[in-house]
Structure 1
Amino acid sequence: MKLYDAQAANAKRVRIFIAEKGIEVPKVELELGKDTRASEFRKLNSLGEVPVLELDNGNVITDSIAICRYLDALFPDVPLMGRSPVEIGRIEMWSQRVYQELFLPIGLMVRHQLPLFADVIEQVPEFAAAQRRLMPKKWQWFDQELSDGRPFITGDTFTFADVQGMTALMLADIFDLAAPNDCVNAVYWSAKVRSRKSWEA
């Protein structure tokens, strides 16, 4: 199999996941907005988006979360998405919450702000500004959720929910939207995940 990769937030999510799993997946590096919009690549993903995982049998999996689910099932030794029904449910719950509350507002801001997406959506600058204004409250919510002192998002163990959080954090860094210093629990979690080798993925 091979992973079609580029410098994009969703692709980073898969790179972090692969690094945490400790596996090797051959990569094809693409230039975002150029290679990803080319007709050859659109044969793999008609939306012109990365990441894309092409399997040896020719099957293709798009969407970063779908790719992570596939890799978690294929390489179960480090189960980032849980083993028991309770673990799977809790990790999925927190992954969705972190995606919706932290990653998505920044992602929507980016899509409505960067020229790269001008031909993909009808950009509304006021909407981008509104998403930026939301982020302090989003970090306050996250900070309160972590106020019980747990080191990772779902408890004592690093999971896919933390991968989701790291992806949001990386995007937040680029656009100067990181957790405010008074969100001490969020800042503590942020420092903890930044120290992991997968942060450099």
Structure 2
Amino acid sequence: MKLYNANSGNTKRVRIFIAEKGIEIPRIELELGVGTRTAAFREINSLGEVPVLELDDGRIITESLAICRYLEAAYPEPPLMGRDAFEQGHIEMWSQRVFGQIFMTYGLLVRHSLSLFADVVDQVPEFAETQRKAIPEKWRWLDREMSDGRRFIAGDEFTMADVHGMTVLMIVDGIGHPIPEDCIHVNRWADTMRRRSSYAA
């Protein structure tokens, strides 16, 4: 296998997942917005997006969540997406919540404010500002949810929901707009995540 990689939130998600699984997958490094938009790369992924996982037989899987699902099935230990039906549903619920409520808020802010994405979307600076203003309350929502004392986002074990959360933390560390200081439960979780070896992946 090989992973087509660039400096994006979605590839960070896959790299964290791979590191937490303890597996080694060679990478082909591309420059975001340059190498990902060449005709040669579009032959691999017509959308010109990373990550892309190429299997040993040449088959291709794109989209970070699809890649993670493949790797979960191929390398079931440690389980990051649940062992039984309830765990799988519960972890997916929290993964979707973190992705939809927090990751996408940062993602839309980035896509509508950074020049890198100017030829990808019709940027609306006013919309970017609405996303920036929404960020603190998104974190406060998660902080209230985590006030029950759980160690991780979906409970007492590290899961895919935390992978989504760590991906957001990497964006925070890159562009700012940090977690509000009054979010004591989320900040405790964030400090723990930044100390995990996979955070450097």
Map residues 31-180 of structure 1 onto 2, 5 A cutoff. Answer: 31-180=31-180
Alignment correspondent of 1:12: 12
- Pairwise CA distance, 1:160: 0.4
- Pairwise CA distance, 1:172: 1.7
| Structure 1 residue matching 2:3: 3-state secondary structure | strand
| Structure 1 residue matching 2:147: 3-state secondary structure | coil
5+ residue gaps, structure 2: none
- Pairwise CA distance, 1:120: 1.0
For 1:32 and 1:5, the matched residues in 2 are separated by 9
Amino acid at match of 2:144: Q
What count of residue pairs does the alignment treat as equivalent? Answer: 201
Amino acid at match of 2:25: V
For 1:186 and 1:76, the matched residues in 2 are separated by 28
Amino acid at match of 1:35: G
Alignment correspondent of 1:197: 197
| Structure 2 residue matching 1:146: 3-state secondary structure | helix
- Pairwise CA distance, 1:177: 1.6
- Bigger drift between 113-122 and 143-152 goes to 113-122
Amino acid at match of 1:42: R
Q: Deviations over 1:105-136 (max 9, x none)?
A: 00001001111111111000000111000001
Amino acid at match of 1:60: I
| Structure 2 residue matching 1:4: 3-state secondary structure | strand
For 1:10 and 1:138, the matched residues in 2 are separated by 20
- TM-score (norm: length of structure 2): 0.98
For 2:168 and 2:52, the matched residues in 1 are separated by 20
The RMSD of aligned alpha carbons is 0.7
- Pairwise CA distance, 1:196: 0.3
| Structure 1 residue matching 2:65: 3-state secondary structure | helix
Amino acid at match of 1:85: A
For 2:195 and 2:47, the matched residues in 1 are separated by 34
- Pairwise CA distance, 1:173: 2.1
Runs of 4+ in 1 over 3 A off after TM superposition: none
For 1:125 and 1:18, the matched residues in 2 are separated by 35
For 2:110 and 2:195, the matched residues in 1 are separated by 26
Q: Deviations over 1:156-185 (max 9, x none)?
A: 100000000000111122221221111100
| Structure 1 residue matching 2:44: 3-state secondary structure | coil
Alignment correspondent of 1:183: 183
For 1:106 and 1:175, the matched residues in 2 are separated by 9
- TM-score (norm: length of structure 1): 0.98
